[in-house]
Amino acid sequence: MPAATRDALSEAIAADHDQALSRLREWIALPTINAEKLNRQEGAELMQRMLLDAGFDSARIIPTDGAPGVFGRLDAGAPVTLAVYFMYDVKQFEAHEWSQPPLEGRLVDRDGKTVMIARGAINQKGPEATLLTAIRAFKATGTPLPVNIVLVAEGEEETGSENFGQITGDPEVAKALAGAVGVILPVAWQGDDGGVDIFLGAKGVAEVQLVADGATSGRGPGMEIHSSMAASVENPAWRLVKALDTLVADDGYTPAIDGWMDHVRPLSKEQVAMIEAGIRPGSEAAAKKEMMVQGWIGGEDYRTSLVRLASQPTVNIQGLVSGYMGPGGKTSLPSRAEAKIDFRLVPDMRADEVVAKLRAHLDKRGFQDIQIVPGGIYGPTETPGDAAIVDALVTTLAAADLPHTLNPRLAGSWPGYRFTDPPVSLPAVFVGIGQGGQAHAPDEWYLIESNDPKVAGIDRQALFYAEFLYALAKTKR
């Protein structure tokens, strides 16, 4: 990027700082929570307006069988087109668990840094709004973007992107994606040392609900009854617990579902080497502090734990509910028990086989009565390390004197398989600097102003996106 252009964009971003915070607060104040079917249309309409205000030529709302999507285009007349993925939905929250109101976006001090606490602050409204701030700077300075941008946004990511395929399958969207060199998702995952992990893929995820219901199965009462009847009437809570226990080995974490590991592709030597090379001094201590954990599964060392994190599928109980949980005892026998489960998937596991394998596993053990209610399910992603968007990210980080490491796979999930799998078949990568944390949890936060020159506040984050676009425009494809 020419120095004069960089200076002009930097000044425009700085001048827009307070307005950028106001725009982010406005977005946060409208929680689009798909699990509660809350503000679906309103969320899409605000997303559409934000894109147009930022300088997109067009932004079209795409109806689906669930939450609508939004498709935006910004044609700069450039030879290179970049695709961008946004989500405008957020997770549920319990306001009483937060130290600050979760929909106000208040600024607070966190270890000497100014952060915004709000639902959606880091996942994903903060980084996405910061990318839009960068695009606005081009508009404010009259600087042509070095690349064209096509943007696809959805409102169902937090529930598994049930209808995202209807958005990417829209003829106009599909044609636009076919002309892109890759897809990025804005993030702010900088380490305390300023380093950035570049993930060349992500695990897939499948969410299901398991239900033991005495009223429908006949194995238990059709209503809550006195606990003295436990000698004569089966308890659905125990029924569900017994079924859940078959899903993992005796260690409590190794998947034990029949056929679950059949198509798991081990990490290559090169991928393991990537993980080992990415272990920086202090990273284990920082990870333990962030998650408030004292050790890793089975007492493993950090290196072994990181390899497991990237390579292993998981069987996780998100929540388990049955019967009375109020003060004191109630001496009751419940009629229903429910568990919410998520499975993390790795290459070459197939997302469309998850429910069938789970059903067959339970049926084989006599649990035909356990109901399976599928939720969102999508597969893992992989991106080659020599993709243009990866080269551009490496170049931008190097120019900013920020260290980076390559990592074969993010343990979390996003619906990137809609981009990386056929028929789209594009590389996809997470791009950004800055920090945030507590995604999905109380006191979710996003770094606004940093007291450390190695870690970026939002103005520097926005300028980084501009630098990335210039780097991408020059990358050989």
| Spatial CB neighbours of 358, under 8 Å, sequence gap ≥ 6 | 208, 257, 372
Per-residue pLDDT tens over the stretch 209-236:
999 999 999 999 999 999 999 999 999 9
Domain boundary among 378, 406, 431: 378
* Closest residue by Cα to residue 247 from 93, 378, 354: 354
Please tell me the number of Cα atoms within 13 Å of 299 on its side-chain side: 0
The total number of residues written for the chain in this structure: 477
- Residues 424-433 have a mean pLDDT of 97
> Could you tell me the CATH number of the domain that includes residue 43?
3.40.630.10
Does 402 lie in the same domain as 444?
A: yes
What CA dihedral angle connects 325, 331, 337 and 340, to 10 degrees? 20
Per-residue pLDDT tens over the stretch 54-92:
999 999 999 999 999 999 999 999 999 999 999 999 999
Q: Is the pLDDT of residue 442 over 70?
A: yes
| Spatial CB neighbours of 236, under 8 Å, sequence gap ≥ 6 | 212, 213, 214, 217, 219, 220, 322, 334, 335, 336, 337
Structural domain count of the chain: 2
Q: Is the pLDDT of residue 1 over 90?
A: no
Q: In angstroms, how far is CA 77 from the centroid of its own chain?
A: 32
Given CA atoms 308, 313, 318, 319 in this order, what sign does their dihedral have?
Answer: negative
Does 232 lie in the same domain as 152?
A: no
User: What is the pLDDT confidence band of residue 43, given thresholds at 50, 70 and 90?
Assistant: very high
DSSP 68-110: -EEEEEE----S-EEEEEEE-------GGG-SS-TTT-EEEEE
**pLDDT attached to residue 428:** 98
Task: Give domain status of residue 196, yes or no.
Answer: yes
Per-residue pLDDT tens over the stretch 97-117:
999 999 999 999 998 999 999
**pLDDT attached to residue 376:** 85
User: What is the pLDDT confidence band of residue 281, given thresholds at 50, 70 and 90?
Assistant: confident
Does 446 lie in the same domain as 335?
A: no
Does 249 lie in the same domain as 121?
A: no
- Residues 267-295 have a mean pLDDT of 91
127 contacts 186 by C-beta, under 8 angstroms: yes
Per-residue pLDDT tens over the stretch 110-167:
989 999 999 999 999 999 999 999 999 999 999 999 999 999 999 999 998 999 999 9
CA distance 33 to 170: 24
> Could you tell me the CATH number of the domain that includes residue 344?
3.30.70.360
Structural domain range at position 127 = 3-202+382-474
**pLDDT attached to residue 309:** 96
Other Cβ atoms less than 10 A from the Cβ of 8: the count is 17
Global pTM?
Answer: 0.91
Mean pLDDT, the chain, integer? 96
Please tell me the number of Cα atoms within 13 Å of 361 on its side-chain side: 19
Per-residue pLDDT tens over the stretch 337-356:
999 999 999 999 998 899 99
Does 65 lie in the same domain as 147?
A: yes
**pLDDT attached to residue 476:** 65
- Residues 424-440 have a mean pLDDT of 96
Amino acid at 462: A
Does 177 lie in the same domain as 38?
A: yes
**pLDDT attached to residue 207:** 93
- Residues 406-425 have a mean pLDDT of 94
Domain boundary among 378, 413, 431: 378
Domain boundary among 356, 378, 400: 378
CA distance 417 to 203: 10
Task: Give domain status of residue 278, yes or no.
Answer: no
